[in-house]
Amino acid sequence: MTLTTDQFIAGARRAAGHATFQAEDAASGERLAPAFVEATPEEIDAACQAAAAAADRFADAPLATRAGLLEAIAEGLEARADAFVERAGAETGLPEPRIRGELARTTGQLRMFARVVREGGFLGVRIDHGDPDRQPAPKPDLRQRNIPLGPVAVFGASNFPLAFSVCGGDTASALAAGCPVVVKAHPAHPGTSALAAEAVEAAVADSDLPAGVFSMLQGAGHDLGAALVRHPAIEAVGFTGSQRGGLALQRIAAERDRPIPVHAEMGSVNPLFVLPGALADRPEAIARGLAGSVALGCGQFCTKPGLVFVRRGEGFETFREQLIQAVEAMAPAIMLHSGILAAFEAGCERLAAAEGVERLAAGDSAEHRARATAFITAAEILNAQPDLADEVFGPAVLVVTLDDATGFETVAEGLVGQLTAGIHARDSELDDQAALITRLEQRAGRVLFNGFPTGVEVGEAMVHGGPYPSTTDSRTTSVGTRAIERFLRPVALQDMPPAALPPTLRDDNPLGLPRRVDGVDQPGAAH
Amino acid sequence: MTLTTDQFIAGARRAAGHATFQAEDAASGERLAPAFVEATPEEIDAACQAAAAAADRFADAPLATRAGLLEAIAEGLEARADAFVERAGAETGLPEPRIRGELARTTGQLRMFARVVREGGFLGVRIDHGDPDRQPAPKPDLRQRNIPLGPVAVFGASNFPLAFSVCGGDTASALAAGCPVVVKAHPAHPGTSALAAEAVEAAVADSDLPAGVFSMLQGAGHDLGAALVRHPAIEAVGFTGSQRGGLALQRIAAERDRPIPVHAEMGSVNPLFVLPGALADRPEAIARGLAGSVALGCGQFCTKPGLVFVRRGEGFETFREQLIQAVEAMAPAIMLHSGILAAFEAGCERLAAAEGVERLAAGDSAEHRARATAFITAAEILNAQPDLADEVFGPAVLVVTLDDATGFETVAEGLVGQLTAGIHARDSELDDQAALITRLEQRAGRVLFNGFPTGVEVGEAMVHGGPYPSTTDSRTTSVGTRAIERFLRPVALQDMPPAALPPTLRDDNPLGLPRRVDGVDQPGAAH
């Protein structure tokens, strides 16, 4: 397969840079051909300028054009499925079923946002009719709807080469909002990124939209990302990755002459609370389910459960034994790249060396492979060393035992912000756990029951977000239809002459939008 | 009238501090009795701790209780109307009709949020039912609704002693969201603040809610505000005031171990664009309307039009003469306090001294009074000295003339973010002004036509917000029903056993909430 090694800038290829870099074969750590050219400062500027120049036309394009673009991208990705399996497989070590599954999720996400765009509820249309006779002062006519923020910089994530990368959730929701996108490809999968960029570029070219709606830049270091966030044409940032990376971008964004919002999803340990009744009823199922969730995708999910709280009561021994068995049976697994593998090994060593923490079980080991590991400690040890709860990205889990005197809600109180938190409980047990549930809702974006957090459903009601430090803005989600809200802001038009009103705000509602008129919700034509 | 000079902390009065301060009589600059006691660090901590302790019960209280609280506060304010006229009149120099009008706006706002709470749409309930048989994986049951962020620090504004102060828009929307509030009273009107705090305190005491739902602290310097924003129990900040103040609070919030959102509304120059047709048709009406808007409330509104763009064509001379006449007829006016008066005078001197800027007209002058002033310059001068467009808080306006070669949209392009922007135009002129309208929508939260920006309607469709530097977050509004969104975040519950679901998320919808179920909007019982 021939991969484009240049930048994708507004429909054209540019490669003025002299620096190059290569991906590595995740399975072996060896370099993969070809060499990709790093974007130069001039190319970064060209991409951002093209995005800015495209912004007005994109914002004003018919909703059907915007929806059609998203659908065309989905088709273009599907046409490249085999290429993704081959190249993303090599670059990330992810197996074929996972890549095909992730592709389906990615195209599903794009089509979901196409529906969101066609339905038009995201515009949040509100009309308050005026009243010239009102006393003591006339009431103005006010019409509000959301408009796109403008060009968005999207950072590809290492662990989802499709669903959170070049045309993943951030790009899909930004395009759906009407924002041009400049992607920084993740340097661990530049070839996969180039394949995806081809699909987007072709879809834009086939549309009635300006080419500047999409650009993608390659680069191995931090300079490209920093330059993007600093660029005055960029109006918002979408990022999924490490806490260090996310906070660095937020700092840069805050230091601009004109600060911009950064939506960084920075991971989580996703604590699970196993209540005594559930532990007594289903110790084996919980242990097996936990092990499966920890090992899924080699533990490289933001929602991997890394912390499990249990009491040493009925069922505990079975849970413990089953967890040991399940972890010991785990085969050594390929990680996304050698840097992530090294960080995982360092994280496991840190836990193994910590006072009061025992290694409970480990899977088989092999060179250049991750070894699944379970650790165990007690709540008072964790309380004294809170950094034991730091995320270890990979197939590792820390079981924390509580003595009878310590309430689960007390432990929950001590946690930092999380993407998810889980409870395993008998239904009858939940009656007494209002405090725990409240605490977990305050600490997480999603609270789940009798399940495991990996597997993030893409839909209307999903929240993939949470309080700091799991994200930089708990009021949003990066998965699901509400992700579009990150890239919109409301604008009110006051007393605009009817003939000048945009179609979205006209009384006769030619687009059939759902809206709120004089305080009453009106359904859209889609229903 | 006897004023409480102590702190209002969770229903109790405390005054351990030794430092005191007094308001000044706005009309004379003389000190007003009594002396108010500054909050101590321990008192600040006590207020925040009480707010945190009250948060769960407040969040869980029935919506009717929350709405009832807002309505009871409105009644309590109305019962104190005469006291407000007397005390706020002295502390702010605002005349009785303005204070009564502002009181009506404040109580109207509280009752509006009571309706918002009862209707429940702000909860944003979304239910995606599960499907255990879905392939390749079961679909989980997901239910999302917004929850309150937790305790909010609200900063009283100098220019609205009621509507943007102790129980103004920020407090009303935070309480509506279910967030306890700790107010920092504005030091220019501590007595007015104490009166308002009494009303809130009494309403909380009469409710079934914990007293920690509301506290108010007094302090003259910056320490109180900084300590509040730094306090770990505070989860969000609402502020209306200067750019320097807002940015300082945002910096403190960003430097916390756990950063929190700051909603700072920092003012604006609210540019008006007078197109040639409108200038030819109604030069006198525009000049008179402009002068009235500039002078309203002695120019002390965030939405005062400070910048007016016109061409020297038909109607210009009449516009100019009428503006001169109107400004020269303006009586000297009392400003909110002597610090604001001094800043206004410095701003006028800066404009008067600027190269290429002429003083067009000035009203009468008097000691300790603001002198209304109009300045005039040309677009190329403004272009070379962009700080001529900085806000001058008070009754001043800068008219900027464009030569025929310069498009209005070019001037608009050069503006920073604004709360509002206005266009005066013949209807037929707007057909050619799509670029100008687009540019103004990108630069402002509200774009108005053939009117003046002062007078911010409180309703469903209002946006009182805008791009930086007019606010710290363009995606929100501080006036109107959507202001509640600033203090909420979504949480999803996954596969929660039906018996454990909160009433807001139950299938049978006992609260009659509007909601979105399986992708279809359902109206609430209120409609």
Tell if the CB–CB gap between B492 and A143 is shorter than 8 Å.
no
Confidence at residue B463, expressed as pLDDT on a 0 to 100 scale: 98
My answer on whether B278 and B240 are in the same domain is no
Residue A216's pLDDT band (cuts 50, 70, 90): very high
Taking the C-alpha atoms of residue B283 and residue B276, their distance in angstroms, rounded to an integer, is 10
Peptide bond into A283 cis (omega under 30): no
Taking the C-alpha atoms of residue A341 and residue A159, their distance in angstroms, rounded to an integer, is 12
A301 lies in a domain?
yes
Taking the C-alpha atoms of residue B415 and residue B447, their distance in angstroms, rounded to an integer, is 14
Tell if the CB–CB gap between A447 and B494 is shorter than 8 Å.
yes
B32 lies in a domain?
no
Q: Alpha helices of B207-353 — where are they, by DSSP H?
A: 223-230, 243-255, 276-281, 283-295, 316-328, 338-353
Confidence at residue A136, expressed as pLDDT on a 0 to 100 scale: 87
- Please check whether residue A481 is in contact with residue A117, taking contact to mean a CB–CB distance below 8 angstroms: no
Taking the C-alpha atoms of residue A446 and residue A439, their distance in angstroms, rounded to an integer, is 12
What is the average pLDDT score of chain A? 97
Say which of A136, A445, A495 has its CB closest to residue B448: A495
Tell if the CB–CB gap between B499 and A427 is shorter than 8 Å.
yes
B299 lies in a domain?
yes
Nearest residue in B to A128, CA atom: B461
The percent of residues in chain A predicted with pLDDT above 90, rounded, is 98
Q: Side-chain half-sphere of A502: how many Cα atoms within 13 Å? A: 24
Mutate to test the interface with B, among A460, A481, A487 (most CBs of B within 10 A): A460
- Rounded mean pLDDT, A183-201: 98
Query: Structural domain tally of chain A?
Result: 2
Indicate the burial class of B76 (C-beta count within 10 angstroms; 0-12, 13-18, 19 or more). buried
Chain B partners within 8 Å of A128 (Cβ): 457, 459-462
Q: Side-chain half-sphere of B433: how many Cα atoms within 13 Å? A: 28
Nearest residue in B to A145, CA atom: B461
Indicate the burial class of A424 (C-beta count within 10 angstroms; 0-12, 13-18, 19 or more). buried
Taking the C-alpha atoms of residue B524 and residue B117, their distance in angstroms, rounded to an integer, is 12
Q: Alpha helices of A80-222 — where are they, by DSSP H?
A: 81-92, 96-119, 169-177, 190-206
Residue A292 DSSP code = H
pLDDT tens string A323-366:
999 999 999 999 999 999 999 999 999 999 999 999 999 999 99
My answer on whether B161 and B113 are in the same domain is yes
- Please check whether residue B485 is in contact with residue B476, taking contact to mean a CB–CB distance below 8 angstroms: yes
How far from A508 is each of A96, A121, A278, B246, B521, CA to CA, in Å? 50, 16, 56, 41, 20
At A107, the amino acid letter reads T
Query: Residue A237's domain is classified under what CATH number?
Result: 3.40.605.10
Say which of B416, B455, B491 has its CB closest to residue A463: B491
Query: Which residue stretches of chain B have pLDDT < 50?
Result: none
Distance from CA of A94 to the nearest CA of B (A): 18
Q: What positions of A carry a catalytic annotation?
A: 265, 302
A29 lies in a domain?
no
CB pairs under 8 A between A and B: 215
Tell if the CB–CB gap between A461 and B144 is shorter than 8 Å.
yes
Confidence at residue A527, expressed as pLDDT on a 0 to 100 scale: 52
B455 lies in a domain?
no
Say which of B448, B468, B518 has its CB closest to residue A258: B468
Confidence at residue B527, expressed as pLDDT on a 0 to 100 scale: 52
Structure tokens at A203: 């879809």
Nearest residue in B to A417, CA atom: B258
At A34, the amino acid letter reads P
My answer on whether B278 and B315 are in the same domain is yes
My answer on whether A427 and A295 are in the same domain is yes
Q: Which residues pair with A147 in a beta bridge?
A: A489
Distance from CA of A366 to the nearest CA of B (A): 31
Confidence at residue B180, expressed as pLDDT on a 0 to 100 scale: 99
My answer on whether A360 and A480 are in the same domain is no
Residues 6+ away with beta carbon under 8 Å from B507: B127, B498
Chain A partners within 8 Å of B387 (Cβ): none
My answer on whether B172 and B290 are in the same domain is no
My answer on whether B287 and B255 are in the same domain is no
B38 lies in a domain?
no
A493 lies in a domain?
no
How far from B349 is each of B103, B154, B357, CA to CA, in Å? 34, 33, 11
Q: Residues A354-370, buried b or exposed e (16+ Cβ, 10 A)?
A: beebeebbbbeeeeebb
Confidence at residue B437, expressed as pLDDT on a 0 to 100 scale: 97
Say which of B126, B259, B446 has its CB closest to residue A460: B126
Say which of B142, B441, B514 has its CB closest to residue A147: B441
My answer on whether B168 and B61 are in the same domain is yes
B188 lies in a domain?
yes
- Please check whether residue A22 is in contact with residue A36, taking contact to mean a CB–CB distance below 8 angstroms: yes
Q: Give the ipTM of the model, two decimals please.
A: 0.97
Mutate to test the interface with A, among B142, B272, B432, B473 (most CBs of A within 10 A): B142
Taking the C-alpha atoms of residue A389 and residue A397, their distance in angstroms, rounded to an integer, is 10
Say which of B451, B472, B521 has its CB closest to residue A527: B521
My answer on whether B257 and B297 are in the same domain is no
Per-residue pLDDT at A1 exceeds 90: no
Q: Residue A524 in 3-state DSSP?
A: coil
Long-range contacts of B434-441 (CB under 8 A, 24+ apart): B435/A56, B435/B407, B435/B409, B436/B273, B436/B407, B436/B408, B436/B409, B436/B412, B437/A500, B438/A56, B438/A59, B438/A60, B438/B409, B439/B409, B439/B412, B439/B413, B440/B273, B440/B412, B441/A147, B441/A491, B441/A493
Instruction: Tell me whether residue B265 is one of the annotated catalytic residues.
Output: yes
Tell if the CB–CB gap between B136 and A495 is shorter than 8 Å.
no
Nearest one of A235, A249, A312, A320 to A284, comparing CA atoms: A320
My answer on whether B295 and B258 are in the same domain is no
Chain A partners within 8 Å of B449 (Cβ): 493-497, 500
Tell if the CB–CB gap between B475 and A489 is shorter than 8 Å.
yes
Nearest one of A222, A238, A198, A249 to A87, comparing CA atoms: A198
My answer on whether B112 and B233 are in the same domain is yes
CB atoms within 10 A of CB B345: 17
Distance from CA of A375 to the nearest CA of B (A): 27
My answer on whether A155 and A295 are in the same domain is no
Tell if the CB–CB gap between A140 and B259 is shorter than 8 Å.
no
Mutate to test the interface with B, among A247, A475, A476, A505 (most CBs of B within 10 A): A475
The domain of A353 spans: 272-449
Confidence at residue A526, expressed as pLDDT on a 0 to 100 scale: 77
Q: Residue B247 in 3-state DSSP?
A: helix
Residues 6+ away with beta carbon under 8 Å from A251: none
Tell if the CB–CB gap between A521 and B523 is shorter than 8 Å.
yes
Structure tokens at A343: 């960080």
Tell if the CB–CB gap between A521 and B121 is shorter than 8 Å.
yes
- Please check whether residue A465 is in contact with residue A445, taking contact to mean a CB–CB distance below 8 angstroms: yes
**What's the start-to-end Cα distance of chain A, in Å?**
45
Distance from CA of A397 to the nearest CA of B (A): 22
